[in-house]
A and B are shown apart, each in its own frame.
Chain A
Amino acid sequence: MAVSNGASEVKAGPNAQAAAGAKLSALFAGTMGPLIGLVLLCLALSLTTDTFLTFRNILNVLDQVTVLGIMAIGMTLVILIGGIDLSVGSVLALAAMVMGFVAHPDHLNLGMPAGIGAALVVAGLCGLASGLLVTVTKLPPFIATLAMMSVARGLANMITDGSQIIGFPDWFTSLSIIRHFGFLSVTVGLMIVLAIIFAIFLNYRATGRSLYAIGGSAEVARLSGIPVKSLTNWVYAVCGVLAGLAGIVLAARLDSVQPSSGFGYELDTIAAVVIGGASLSGGVGSIGGTAIGVLIIGVLRNGLNLLGVSPFIQQVVIGVVIALAVATDTWRRRAQ
């Protein structure tokens, strides 16, 4: 008993101190490490460049991370339940191509709303298919989504036989360009709103809490009456829809869609979620952490660009950051 009392006293100390910021700390629970990393990173870049800590540049960073940010929300859910989704980059491309094909005057010309709707439906179906491969066919998530990654990429290419579709209505492209109230584009706003909605969902909805239980132990969750299979299907479907949405955002930013877009995005997305403190074995992670992970990757890219570091070296740096982030997390856990 003495041992557990000692442990609880240690725990109570910082809790009492942080009483004022209890709400905030709940949202960012377990993400202190990544948060400190992000702050240090921003501090270093503010000191080494004149341009990093400007309003304009911060908005740039936010613009640059919208696609990654939206995908990372879905990936957080998947990783939380102990899964992985390698198909998000391909699903992004497929959704974008479906939107272009349905909406563009050179093709079906059914209008943007129909295009967007079709894109989201197709992306959701891709996710659902991955989910069913996991729950019904019992494939490991890695394999199921690896298959979907290939299938979706192939379908994306089949739509226009590999060529891109260029030119969307002005209102559509302006979603990512016009900054309302002087700072907020619709796409950045969308990312922030989605992050808040999913943070609330994971923290305060019974279904959201159930995802943590599934990731912690699927068997415990199942024996506790949680519908593990159907929730798993839903999570993959939602991850697909969000990847599709990211594809639409990317289309708005580029004013074009191409079947090769989103290549390798799944790895950036997984990296962001993992840097944000999520455990690949499931049960641990949060939207707050993922937001920090996304910002770390965004700030790092932005800052290295400002410093004139070559993109090749950037890849090396990001790789090192991933390893460092997860290693510190592992060490900390072991220390506990």
Chain B
Amino acid sequence: MSLDPSHTQTPHLGLFVSGLCKSYGPVQVLADASFEVRPGEVVALLGENGAGKSTVSNIIAGSTKPDAGSIAWRGKPYSPASPADAIDAGVGMIHQELKLLPDLSVAENVYVGRLLMRGGRIDRAAMNARASAQLKRLGLDVSPERKVRTLRIAAQQQIEIAKALTLNAELLIFDEPTAALGSEETELLFKQIRKLKAEGMSFIYISHRLDEIAEIADRVVVMRDGRIVARHERADVPVRAIVEQMVGRSVERMFPPLSEPGSETLLEVENLSSPERSFQNVSFSVRAGEILGIAGLIGAGRTELVRAIAGADPISSGSVRVAGKPVHLTGPAAAIKAGVVLVPEDRKAQGVVLDQTIGENLAIGNFDHVAPNGWVFPKAVQKFAEAGIGRLGVKGRPNQAISKLSGGNQQKVIIAKWISRPPKVFILDEPTRGIDVGARAAIYDVIAELARSGMAVVVVSSDLEEVLGLSHRVLVLSRGRQRGILDRSEASNVAVMELATS
């Protein structure tokens, strides 16, 4: 392991990244990132969600521009203005969410944007032949005329790789390539990477599955909070060591003291499974005044689980009981009636109606309170809104457009919407996503206060420190399976990450 910034001593024709910085507004997402990728090498880029891996790779792939720093590639300065620039320079990126046109053929997808022409017409025969050749190179037997929609995810990913190969890519960036793959498909992908590596291609490999790293990577770069915190010259570093570096001990945050939970069990979830198998056989219970954190990596099924409990998505089996009574989860309305409310993950798309005022947003879902006999009077809405605003300290007035509020204040409005009912079970999915670090403490205080007032609180967060700082207990999910429930005393960064990456 070396933290020496002057690590780029051996000259080669690979990639040199030095001193990249990037800020969005006041938030610095990338600070002085430097590393290198040699020809014929796989470098694993590791870190928690939000550590800056995507920003680095987007800069290298030309879709984001750095504020400072430089890149050299194949011995020349390299600063791609667009993904097309990057592709021309031989740098391709395979995104986690595949960017294919599902209703076009495999060959058309491979050649999209630069379809082969002959005599003013598309030369399908040549496209099919050449796409076919690249697919064979990957050991794939797929007709180039097949529609991409009819292929499995793993095969679609191969199409993306084939596309990069026909573009003569010499550096490929993989963002979580195995997140949607089974073990056999992963093995095939690794085989291909090794083959291409032997031909001299370089790879940047981003993954959360730390167990894969030793198998596929040559070197490891670990990021945290926008900085590179460690570089390993070998990939067979103990997972535990990498995890410790990933979660590290950075800024200490102010978490409110937690009150002692009550004895009454308010939420009981038993063997809950989803029809899409995004989570399976999850069982847990939460007492009055208790905060249960749900941790796991992206795609572990956390959001799907809490949405199902809140009636937003269907379940295939299992049961939910609130204060001892079984809840028939027919939809959000039924869950709300039973006392289960959700502050959803995507604030702008699922939490607030951006066209409306704060007051209107607070009234939605509370017409049974605000509107006796169904009559909604502006004064009643105003009064209701003022109460909610006052209780949570929202910086705004009832008749103000909610789109003008900061993310933190919007989040408080969504919490305020439910608080007056009052609910028995309060679920918050990524309550501080997109909210300034400074404003987060206020949200934490609100969450602690919800528990103190006797509700059962469930908090889902990708921010591990947040889960640990806020929760009495932590449930860890990995690939839809419940890997364990840790008590506050035993829930450390490392313990949670080990379960989450299992």
Residue ranges of A at the interface with B (Cβ–Cβ < 8 Å): 1, 4, 7-8, 11, 26, 203-210, 212-213, 216-217, 219-227, 283-284
Contacts and interface: CB of A to CB of B under 8 A. Distances in A.
Interface in B296-318: 310, 312
Closest 10 CB pairs of A and B: A224-B365, A216-B353, A206-B367, A225-B333, A206-B371, A225-B336, A224-B364, A213-B364, A206-B374, A216-B355
Given A216-B356, A219-B349, A222-B331, A207 B417 contact: no
Contacts of B356: 212-213, 216, 283
B397 A220 contact: no
Contacts of B310: 223
21 contacts: A7-B404, A8-B397, A11-B400, A26-B378, A205-B371, A206-B367, A206-B368, A209-B376, A210-B364, A212-B356, A216-B353, A217-B350, A221-B353, A221-B364, A224-B332, A224-B336, A224-B365, A225-B331, A225-B333, A226-B364, A227-B333
Contacts of B367: 206, 209-210
A29 B197 CA distance: 64
Contacts of B312: 222-223
Nearest to A26: B378
A206 B376 contact: yes
B193 to A, nearest CB: 39
Contacts of B371: 205-206, 209
Contacts, number: 93
Interface of B: 310, 312, 331-333, 335-337, 342, 344, 349-356, 360, 363-365, 367-368, 370-371, 374-378, 395-397, 400, 404-405, 417
Contact of B353 (A205, A220, A227): A220
A204 B376 contact: yes
A76 B38 CA distance: 63
A15 B337 CA distance: 38
Contacts of A206: 367-368, 370-371, 374-376
B42 to A, nearest CB: 40
A221 B331 CA distance: 12
A81 to B, nearest CB: 12
Nearest to A15: B399
Nearest to B351: A220
Contacts of A205: 371, 374-376
Contacts of A8: 397, 400
A100 B374 CA distance: 38
B355 A284 contact: yes
B376 A224 contact: no
Most B CB contacts (10 A, CB to CB) among A205, A225, A227 go to A225
A210 B354 CA distance: 15
Contacts of B354: 216-217
Nearest to B375: A204
Nearest to B373: A206
A228 to B, nearest CB: 9
Contacts of A1: 395
A223 B350 contact: yes
A18 to B, nearest CB: 13
Contacts of A226: 333, 364-365
A223 B342 contact: yes
Contacts of A221: 353, 364
B382 to A, nearest CB: 13
Nearest to B377: A204
A217 B397 contact: no
A209 B377 CA distance: 11
Nearest to B343: A223
A15 to B, nearest CB: 8
A220 B332 CA distance: 11
A225 B337 contact: yes
Contacts of A223: 310, 312, 332, 342, 344, 350-351
Given A210-B364, A219-B350, 11 more contacts: A204-B375, A204-B377, A206-B367, A209-B360, A216-B353, A216-B354, A217-B354, A220-B350, A224-B364, A225-B335, A283-B353
Nearest to B366: A224
A7 B351 CA distance: 23
Given A206-B367, A225-B337, A212 B360 contact: yes
A202 to B, nearest CB: 10
